[in-house]
Amino acid sequence: MTQYKQIILAKGREQSFFRKHPWIFSGAIKQKDANLHDGEIVEVLSSEKVFLGIGHYQDGSIAIRVLSYEYTDINTDFWFTKISKAYNYRKAIGLIDQPDMNAYRLVFGEADEMPGLVIDYYNNNLVIQCHAIGMHLSIKDIVEALKKIYGSKLETIYDKSVESLPATYASQIKNGFLFGSNENTIIQEYGNKFQIDWVRGQKTGFFIDQRENRKLLAHYSKGKKVLNTFCYTGGFSVYASLAGASLVHSVDSSKAAIELTKKNIELNGITNHEAFAVDTFDFFKTSDTDYDVIILDPPAFAKSRKVTHNAVIGYKRLNAEAFKRIKSGGIVFTFSCSQVIDKELFFNTIVSAAIEAKKTIKVLHYLSQPADHPINMHFLEGEYLKGLVLWVE
């Protein structure tokens, strides 16, 4: 067995291990071996020197991300066991080998007991995004494990970690192919087709996390005038159109996103759609269409607690604009993917937006993230996507 360097916790700080929470904060450390480097695998001991687990070390507030509660070598076999567990979970919830669905999140970091690792699956292609340096240093073993799991069907593994790792480390690496060379593919989601471009697209190429919410939108779209703001690849737009909306408008400030939306609209043979490369707030100022359904799925307005206040102002303004413009008896799908804005704060913000717009709102559905982005109850920080479907009058 490999002997890893050791970290000893301060007295009483082993509690998080017993709760199976995967992070150890720097303040919990009493003593550590000399010359630890970022991403190094370490053994964690209690103040009484009892073995607690193995994890990735990284200088910073989250100092250790726990990988195992048993003493074990962190090698290809380790990753094969871990990722197979995540794969089998997706299989059990009906996401694998489906004829009309071939995109899912295979690994969702801490929730899958692999802190800092995200892997998305797009029709035999895998995109890896590391959020911890240790994961990136383990990437060769992870790739070997993935090849073993998917076998000859696997076409490509692409590493897209430059955007998600600390700048000092990220400046020394490049995004690129670890296996195969596909730059994009066409996936199906409940039979809706999307072209996914992981090389040029945002994040890993697609927001898989909205799958079930897009499906719900289809239920409310027949014969309706639908506005999809912050549309990115046009996910919600395609579902609304194919479900029989009378008209669909898509808005995104990024020209590249609008091009992707147009491609996906074409791919699905849709004709009653128009796309606008413009800021959502500007679009609201000029548009005079009486929409029946509006989708608000902005990027995270707050990435840290320091800017929570500004984010609340942003969400309030955006939702108030939508409430003012929607028909009486219209429906708003509104989301926040900011981790630091909790449900209660988000809901309160939406209420104040309704008051400002002089509308009343009723909840048709509370929305969240899908089961391939699991909410692990030992790590509630992983619950990030919040949504409401509102009846507005």
Residues within the interface to ligand SAH (CB under 6 A): 207, 210, 230-233, 235-236, 251-254, 257, 279-280, 297-299
> Whose Cβ is closer to ligand SAH: residue 163's or residue 279's?
279
> Whose Cβ is closer to ligand SAH: residue 113's or residue 297's?
297
Q: Residue 215 Cβ, how far from ligand SAH at the closest point, in Å?
A: 12
What angle (nearest 5°) sits at the alpha carbon of residue 95, between those of residues 119 and 240?
Answer: 95
Q: Residue 194 Cβ, how far from ligand SAH at the closest point, in Å?
A: 9
Quote the CA–CA distance of 5 and 18 in Å, as a whole number: 22
Q: Residue 198 Cβ, how far from ligand SAH at the closest point, in Å?
A: 14
Q: Residue 336 Cβ, how far from ligand SAH at the closest point, in Å?
A: 12
> Whose Cβ is closer to ligand SAH: residue 132's or residue 208's?
208
Q: Residue 279 Cβ, how far from ligand SAH at the closest point, in Å?
A: 4
Quote the CA–CA distance of 150 and 179 in Å, as a whole number: 12
If you ran DSSP here, which 8-state letter would residue 98 be given? B
> Whose Cβ is closer to ligand SAH: residue 120's or residue 252's?
252
Q: Residue 320 Cβ, how far from ligand SAH at the closest point, in Å?
A: 15
Nearest to 239 by CA among 251, 255, 250: 250
> Whose Cβ is closer to ligand SAH: residue 229's or residue 349's?
229
> Whose Cβ is closer to ligand SAH: residue 233's or residue 336's?
233
* Sheet containing 330-336, strands listed edge to edge, beginning at the edge strand earlier in sequence: 273-277, 247-252, 225-229, 293-296, 330-336, 386-392, 361-367
- Quick count: other Cβ atoms within 10 Å of Cβ 152? 7
Half-sphere exposure of 191 (CA within 13 A, CB side): 6
What angle (nearest 5°) sits at the alpha carbon of residue 153, between those of residues 148 and 159?
Answer: 70
Quote the CA–CA distance of 172 and 164 in Å, as a whole number: 13
